[in-house]
Amino acid sequence: MKNIKYLLLIVAVVMLFPLMAYAEDVEDTRAKVYFFHGETCPHCQEARTWFESIQEEYGSKYVLVEYEVWNNEENAALMEKVSTMRNDNATGVPYIVCGDKSWIGFDEATMADEIKGQIDAVYASPVSERYDAVEEAGGVVPATEEKKPNDVVSLIIILVVAGLAGFGIYKARKSTN
């Protein structure tokens, strides 16, 4: 009987782990950088390469939300709506938006420091006070990967709980014999 009490306590504690894991990822506090681009646009590729190059230093501060506009009419319409709302004349790509600032085209020499400074500023501001042009324009902002439940962690927890329950049942039966 004593073994069953310990087993129930262990199972109860282990079952709390998924709740704690999900509670940590409720809100993504990184700055959203919207990247409207064309599939084969060389300037867009240059911008994407630059964003990849700052990933190690800035990856914890921003998430790149991409919208391909040359082959997707909805994304193109969203870019036009955001551009018009912001009083930008974004007739080409890339069109980059972060907080209350935007950039048309991409030139690393003249834009890199400004974009990084804006990422820092948005990241440092409270999430509830951030301006989001895409949301204001009625666009759907895709969920970032970090907001999704971690299926691997869930599977491991289920297997551990099942294993502990099986072991407890085995021990309980063995002790009664």
Residue 174 pLDDT greater than 90, yes or no: no
What's the pLDDT band for 28 if we cut at 50, 70, 90? confident
On whether the pTM is more than 0.75, the answer is no
| Mean pLDDT over each residue of the chain, to the nearest integer | 82
Q: Show the 3-state SS of the chain.
A: CHHHHHHHHHHHHHHHHHHHHHHHCCCCCCEEEEEEECCCCHHHHHHHHHHHHCHHHHCCCEEEEEEECCCCHHHHHHHHHHHHHCCCCCCCCCEEEECCEEEECCCHHHHHHHHHHHHHHHHHCCHHHCCCHHHHCCCCCCCCHHHCCCHHHHHHHHHHHHHHHHHHHHHHHHHHC
What digits encode the pLDDT tens for the residues 130-151? Answer: 999 999 888 776 655 444 445 5
What pLDDT sits at residue 11?
53
